[in-house]
Amino acid sequence: MALRSIFDASVLRTEFENAGINPKFIPLIWKNVLQNPNCKWDEIPSLPAAAYPLLNSKFLPLSSTLHSVSHSTDAVTSKLLIKLKNGAFVEAVILRYDSRLGQYGGKQRPGGLRSTLCVSSQVGCKMGCTFCATGSMGFKSNLSTGEIVEQLVHASHISNIRNIVFMGMGEPLNNYSALVEAIRAMTSAPFHLSPKKITVSTVGIVHAINKLHHDLPTLNLAVSLHAPVQDIRCQIMPAARAFPLEKLMAALHLYQKNSQQKIFIEYIMLDGVNDEELQAHQLGKLLETLEVVVNLIPFNPVGNTSQFKTSGEAKVKNFQRILREIYNIRTTVRKEMGQDINGACGQLVVTEQDRLLAERKGLITDIEDLHL
């Protein structure tokens, strides 16, 4: 049997139970690995004798390695290129905020320095969104629970992570079991992250949204809506054909009824496609019966061949004004971070060319970020 990550929680728990070892020792093992990813199993004190040969024969402290890190020129964003055991690469991004400063306008507010980690859930993505670089690389594989959690382990040695957003490579709800198990690990010892500080972004996998509140009741949900009508949505998000807007909205109403939480709506601004006044009114009417925060996202062209253009600042402001003033919908304009290291929204992609470049120069490419 191939050695598994120690953070593959269900596998580890099953092996311990089968060997008669109390799973209560799992947090102690994780704590030691978090503090020292290169530790040897026999260096961890106070485990039952039977645990050591089991760990040596079946588990690795980490199954992935931190291949390279690049930092934005303002030191606010760091992008991690992580090499998996099978040789594939994924990316994670650390976003640093000073929450004492308002994101838009610099107004003072309580808080302090904090870091958000943008996590990948798959290698590639099968959703095929036409404005997203990750979609252009196609779907390669799902990440295991351990490979998801290990992104947090690697990032924790660079910054003190307080928030997690599943907005990296892949559609998280298409890797549902590993996602849920990874979040449960992240919210338990030794990580102790609050579920209220974790956000999962989806293009709208209706059946999984309907399960999510039951499995992770205090989680934040973000929906990549990007258009207020089905035909435009299908044009820019081919996977939307499987999830009609009518069914998606019904799922969101049910989710909100059960959770009593705001829902984040992500809306990428594409010039002449979804940024006109008509679409602002359509979006307002679509969302006015929900408690939402709409996040308008400046489009980042993917290379020089993108079919889309970035909406002008005046259009974005007018779109925001309509949602706020006419429909009383809280609306923000995302401040893009990490563009100089291709770490901004929709830019996450790892190609063979990128990989080779990273190996030669320590550079890496692409991702999504949400300000919480």
> Phi first, then psi: what are they for 15, rounded to 5°?
-60, -40
Are 165 and 116 in contact by the 8 Å Cβ rule? The answer is yes
Contacts of 293 (CB under 8 A, 6+ apart): 262, 263, 264, 265, 330, 331, 332
Buried b / exposed e over 135-162, threshold 16 CB at 10 Å, is bbbebbebbbbbbbbbbbbbbbeebebb
**Is 171 in the active site?**
no
H or E segment to which residue 318 belongs: helix 313-321
- Report CA 123 to chain centroid distance, whole Å: 13
> Phi first, then psi: what are they for 6, rounded to 5°?
-65, -20
**Is 368 in the active site?**
no
Query: What are the C-alpha distances in Å from 86 to residues 83, 147, 327?
Result: 8, 11, 49
Query: Hey, what amino acid is at 363?
Result: L
Cα separation of 282 and 270, whole Å?
A: 16
User: CA torsion sign, 132 to 133 to 137 to 140?
Assistant: negative
Instruction: Tell me which of 15, 181, 345, 368 is the catalytic residue.
Output: 345
> Phi first, then psi: what are they for 266, rounded to 5°?
-95, 135
CB atoms within 10 A of CB 288: 13
Cα separation of 149 and 121, whole Å?
A: 10
Q: Coil, helix or strand for 145?
A: helix
Are 81 and 120 in contact by the 8 Å Cβ rule? The answer is no
User: CA torsion sign, 197 to 201 to 205 to 206?
Assistant: positive
Instruction: Tell me which of 15, 91, 150, 368 is the catalytic residue.
Output: 91
- Catalytic residues, which ones? 91, 345
